[in-house]
């Protein structure tokens, strides 16, 4: 049995300088600003420039992580690009682009597409790949999305999506890392809502160039938002709790022993409900929604990096990275420091 361990040795991130404020969103959507600032908990969010694409942001985050890890790009054995799937091009490999741009010419590069759960899943996959192959030592997990382009601010049914923003984060996984160990992962999917959230245009059902289509088909569309809200209200917290508890159980711990929980960013009231469900305090997480919006799969790694920068994570701490994703899926990854 391979008794080696894998840990996160460094995290880098990139947040674009462009900003869309709650006041600007209020005007675009004709919705009172207090809905954003008070009900949702959002004051502003980062927006990538028109010529700044997901792979560009991912490259910057990857370089930051590699520099922080103190390794050379050629030492990277695996590169997993983990995102929602709205890449620079529709049929293309952002993982290979990053490999080429950073000079990691010895690495195998591939994509993981599981929406906001992609990063946690990518870490789990790469951990297992490192442990399964004696020739592999380092993996680079890159999360990068330009989610702001998917939003139609003229559609009031899409209000819950207005928090979506742009950014990137990257983690270097190292076999034999001493400061922390990636322990266990657990995830579940409930496909009953799969058709409620999608971008219709450019798939095989609505191919580009096959007639004239409404511009609305190019945006992230919520079909039957009332049904979505009703079903999610019944299962969302329950599934979140289930994956967190199961990931901890697989790791040999209970929720009572959890020190920090980092989640994908949702409206403030829901974030607090997640914490309350698990009897956790706000000091045991990092809420970035107010200034950074929802960065998709980037959220949990970004939160972990911010806690580390603030020197809040100490040896012996148990940290769970948990996420919910379109589809709909929930996943949780346990790390012990």
Rounded to whole angstroms, the maximal C-alpha distance in the chain is 60
Task: Tell me what pLDDT residue 231 has.
Answer: 73
Task: Tell me what pLDDT residue 96 has.
Answer: 98
Task: Tell me what pLDDT residue 6 has.
Answer: 98
Nearest CA to 220 out of 200, 206, 195 is that of 200
Task: Tell me what pLDDT residue 43 has.
Answer: 98
Q: Kindly state the helix (H) or strand (E) to which residue 298 belongs, with its residue range.
A: helix 298-309
Contact between 168 and 142 under an 8 Å Cβ cutoff? The reply is: yes
Task: Tell me what pLDDT residue 210 has.
Answer: 63
pLDDT averaged per 10 residues in sequence order, the chain, 337 residues: 82 98 95 95 97 98 98 98 94 97 98 97 98 97 96 87 97 97 97 85 77 74 77 87 98 98 94 95 97 98 98 98 95 98
How far is residue 123's CA from residue 269's CA, in Å, rounded to a whole number?
28
Contact between 47 and 166 under an 8 Å Cβ cutoff? The reply is: yes
Task: Tell me what pLDDT residue 1 has.
Answer: 38
Task: Tell me what pLDDT residue 3 has.
Answer: 63
- Domains of the chain as residue ranges with CATH: 6-178 (3.40.47.10), 183-336 (3.40.47.10)
């Amino acid at each position: 049995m391979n008794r080696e361990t894998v840990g996160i040795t460094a995290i880098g991130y990139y947040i674009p300088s462009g900003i869309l404020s709650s006041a600007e969103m209020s005007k675009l959507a004709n919705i009172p600003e207090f809905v954003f600032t008070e009900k949702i908990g959002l004051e502003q969010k980062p927006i990538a420039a028109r010529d700044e694409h997901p792979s560009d942001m991912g490259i910057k985050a990857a370089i930051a992580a590699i520099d922080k890890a103190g390794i050379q790009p050629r030492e990277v054995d695996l590169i997993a690009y983990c995102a929602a799937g709205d890449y620079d091009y529709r049929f293309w490999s952002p993982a290979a682009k990053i490999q080429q741009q950073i000079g990691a010419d010895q690495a195998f590069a591939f994509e993981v597409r599981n929406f906001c759960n992609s990063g946690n899943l990518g870490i789990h996959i790469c951990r297992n790949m490192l442990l399964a192959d004696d020739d592999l030592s380092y993996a680079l997990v890159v999360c990068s999305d330009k989610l702001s382009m998917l939003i139609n601010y003229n559609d009031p049914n899409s209000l819950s999506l207005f928090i979506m923003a742009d950014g990137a984060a990257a983690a270097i996984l190292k076999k034999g890392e001493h400061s922390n160990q990636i322990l266990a992962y657990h995830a579940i999917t409930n496909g009953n809502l799969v058709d409620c959230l999608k971008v219709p245009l450019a798939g095989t059902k609505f191919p580009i160039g096959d007639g004239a289509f409404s511009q609305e088909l190019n945006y992230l569309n919520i079909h039957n938002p009332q049904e979505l809200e009703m079903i999610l209200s019944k299962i969302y917290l329950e599934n979140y709790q289930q994956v967190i508890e199961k990931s901890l159980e697989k790791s040999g711990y209970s929720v009572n022993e959890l020190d920090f929980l980092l989640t994908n960013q949702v409206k403030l009231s829901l974030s607090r409900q997640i914490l309350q469900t698990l009897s956790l305090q706000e000091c045991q997480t990092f809420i970035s929604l107010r200034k950074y919006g929802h960065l998709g799969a980037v959220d949990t790694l970004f939160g972990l990096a911010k806690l580390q920068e603030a020197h809040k994570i100490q040896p012996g701490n148990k940290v769970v990275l948990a996420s919910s994703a379109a589809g709909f899926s929930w996943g949780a990854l346990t790390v012990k420091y």
